[in-house]
Structure 1
Amino acid sequence: MATSAAGTRQRVAVIVNPIKKTDVDIRTLVDGICRDEGWDKPLWLETTEEDPGRGMARQALEAGVDLVIAAGGDGTVRCVAAELTGTDTPLGLLPLGTGNLLARNLDIPVDDPAAAISGALTGADRGIDVVHVTLDRALKGDVFLVMAGLGYDAALMGDTNDNLKDRVGWLAYVDAGVRNLPGKPVKSTIRLDGGKEISGYPRSVMGGNCGKIMGGLEIFPGARIDDGLLDIMTMAPKGRLGWLGVVAGLLRRGKGKGASVEYYQCKEAEIFTEIPQDFEVDGDHLGKVSHVAFRVDPSALKVRMPRGEKDPAILTDPEV
């Protein structure tokens, strides 16, 4: 029987995005696995259009649960994680979205809900970095766990058709990506750790906490989610075949003279643009901004991961 330090049965709160369609009855599945593993009956909390998870995470913390499972896409995970950051309550993942990038990076099953739930209840806790984001010097900021972007990639996210995404999944991003290929670069300056500055005309500036996206492609090669560092990537297509150069730069991991893709590492970064640009965090489009500040909070979030060896390109210690 799963018990807490006080000797009582453990309890999980499940924060679920109700608009996510599933092939199985998630509530029945979670209730059954909790019962089989000796956990108490779960606390169920649904997100709303007005509150995509933060308020529910606070309710879960106030209820004193032993684990909070975010059942939804990367947006739900991000909002729940924002409230769990800095606490001792671990985050479990039940992927129900299209991208599920954090789950993919942490080897959490994205197409096997029962395995994901079991892993969340019986897995090991690991600390991962959280990146705090401030937009246009606002007093209140946001966070991301996977990656954020200013420019082309954010315009792509903002222009993705939700109905198409429901029908064809990640291919909807390809459609938006092709439609947003035309466009002019904007003069930008990146300041790393309050010192070194890089100026240029990129189409996109991205910050990465971990590296993999769909299909196992590494956008940020070697970016570890628990190394206390933020990876910065710039994409600057040049000439008529510029985007082919970007693809080649991604495949070469930014190496080579005159690369259209360049990488940097830091603990803090600021991005300034002459003209406001689209901005996104973990796939959520947040509008247009002309100043972004990133700050890494090392090992600030506990995540419950399935036991077993992990990809050493993602975690500094692959043994769990």
Structure 2
Amino acid sequence: MTTTDRAGKRAALILNPIKNTGADAREIVERVSSEEGWEAPLVLETTVEDPGHGQAQEALRAGVDVVIAAGGDGTVRCVAEELSGTGTAMALVPLGTGNLLARNLDIAVDNPEEAVDTAFHGTERRIDVVHVTVDRAQKAHVFLVMAGLGYDAAIMSDTRDDLKDKVGWLAYVDAGIRNLPGKPARTTITIDGGRPFDRRLRSVMGGNCGKIMGGLEIFPGAKIDDGLLDLMTVAPRGRFGWLNVAGKLFAKGKGKDPSLEYYQCSRAEVQLHEPLEVQLDGDPLGKATHMSFEMKPESLRLRMPYGRKDPAILSNPLP
């Protein structure tokens, strides 16, 4: 990059201040900006009242060249909600427990220095964003990794923060075990405007990419730039129902067991006969009886490391 290329460039850092390594992220971004000949970064901290939306809007008004979201999946989602469709690039410094988008895209989750280097020097790709409307609200939310109603959302809302601080993502396992008991809910699903069909389910999940902690791929074949929403229904039955679900997950969806079914589409609508918990990228949103998904292909510019990508995540795995 020449001196002329660098002149006038500026990054915005949207920082979740409650994360332990937040101060390091700020220092690194300020130092790299100086080393690269960029202007001093615009640093904006999130708050409980505003977890990233207003800060991202301020960064857009300032006309920055890249917005760096430093925090957990919730911070990333809120910033992406404002940047989607704008053409302004986004980068990540993962500071949370799950960091699912970063893990899917090989962005360093335990090395803020490396993540900041990617923000300034990484390759830039366009990824899909899924818009979600809960209970037919006027305003849609977005997610980048996965969202759902039922069992998965109950895990997110019931995970103990104190346990996350002690054991990290294993706290989700604790919540998952505690929420295994339960009854299936009557559910009506409509895919791409087709004929609705009924199921009795514990969970319905929409996926934009497939991997979670431990490298487990729960949406086999999901790619973050293919323009398709992956929908998964979970319906454990009988004494060994959850074992069947786990078996099909580890088999990457292969087999005919109806305990786990997959669909691909551009739009989907889920109607429940009783309210269940809702989550977007790990953020609990309370309970709802209706959820609609709409795919917005390649609507977010995202910085990621150079190098061949996992073809299970990107349609074009080359840098």
Same fold (TM over 0.5): yes
Q: What one-letter code is carried by the residue in structure 1 that aligns with 2:172? A: Y
Alignment of 1:111-122 (within 5 A): 111-122=110-121
Cα offset, 1:4, TM superposition: 7.4
Distance change in 2, residues 1:11/1:190 (3 Å):
same
Give, in whole Å, the separation in 1 of the partners of 2:4 and 2:73: 29
Residue 296 of structure 2 corresponds to residue 297 of structure 1: yes
1:14 equivalent in alignment to 2:13: yes
Which letter maps to 1:166? D
Q: Is the 8 A contact 1:249 1:259 kept in 2?
A: no
Flag the 1:46–1:62 CA change in 2: closer, same or farther, 3 A. same
1:8–1:24 distance in 2 versus 1, CA, 3 Å:
closer
Quickly say closer, same or farther: Cα 1:4–1:285, change in 2 above 3 A: farther
Q: 1:2 and 1:119 mapped to 2: Cα distance? A: 18
CA shift, 1:44, in A, is 0.3
Task: Tell me which moved more, 16-25 or 61-70.
Answer: 16-25
Tell me, yes or no, if structure 1 residue 211 matches structure 2 residue 190.
Answer: no
Q: How many residues align?
A: 319
Structure 1: gaps spanning 5 or more residues: none
Task: Say which SS state the counterpart of residue 304 (structure 1) adopts.
Answer: strand
Identity over aligned pairs, percent:
63
Q: Secondary structure at the match of 1:25?
A: helix
Alignment of 1:171-210 (within 5 A): 171-210=170-209
Aligned AA for 2:275? P
Distance 2:161 2:3 in 1: 42
User: 2:220, 2:253 within 8 Å by CA — same for their partners in 1?
Assistant: no
Find the aligned partners of 2:27 and 2:17 in 1 and give their Cα distance.
14
Q: CA deviation at 1:23?
A: 8.4
CA distance, structure 2, for counterparts of residue 141 and residue 313 of structure 1 = 28
In structure 2, the partner of 1:221 is 220
Q: Distance in 2 between matches of 1:287 and 1:14?
A: 29
- Whichever residue aligns with residue 182 of structure 2, its letter is G
1:318 correspondence with 2:317 = yes
Greater displacement, 25-34 / 284-293 = 25-34
CA distance in structure 2 between the aligned counterparts of 1:264 and 1:227, rounded to whole angstroms: 14
2:152 corresponds to = 153
**Deviation of the 1:123 alpha carbon:** 1.2
Q: Map Cα deviations across residues 156-189 of structure 1 (whole Å, 9 max, x no partner).
A: 1000011111111001101100110000001101
Aligned CA distance change for structure 1 residues 116 and 176 (closer, same or farther; 3 Å): same
TM-score by length of structure 2 reads 0.97
Classify the secondary structure of the residue corresponding to 1:187. strand
After superposition, residues 1-320 of structure 1 pair within 5 angstroms as: 8-22=7-21, 25-320=24-319
Are the equivalent residues in 1 in contact too, given 2:207–2:231 (CA < 8 A)?
yes
Letter in 2 for 1:141: A
- Give 5+ residue unaligned stretches, structure 2: none
- In structure 1, the residue corresponding to 2:185 is in which secondary structure? coil
Q: CA offsets, 1:126-174, max 9 Å, x none? A: 1101100001111111110000011000001000011111111001101
Do the aligned partners of 2:248 and 2:257 also contact (CA within 8 Å) in 1?
no
The answer to whether the 8 Å contact 2:7/2:38 transfers is no
Provide closer, same or farther for how the CA distance between residues 149 and 203 of structure 1 changes in structure 2, counting only shifts above 3 A: same
CA distance in 2, matches of 1:137, 1:23: 36
Identify if the C-alpha distance between structure 1 residues 43 and 178 changes in structure 2 by more than 3 Å, giving closer, same or farther. Answer: same
Aligned CA distance change for structure 1 residues 166 and 15 (closer, same or farther; 3 Å)? same
Deviations along 1:249-274, one digit per CA (max 9) or x if unpaired, are 11222332333111000000000111
Letter paired with 1:137: R
Contact 1:3/1:39, CA 8 A, preserved across alignment? no
Distance 1:309 1:244, change over 3 A: same
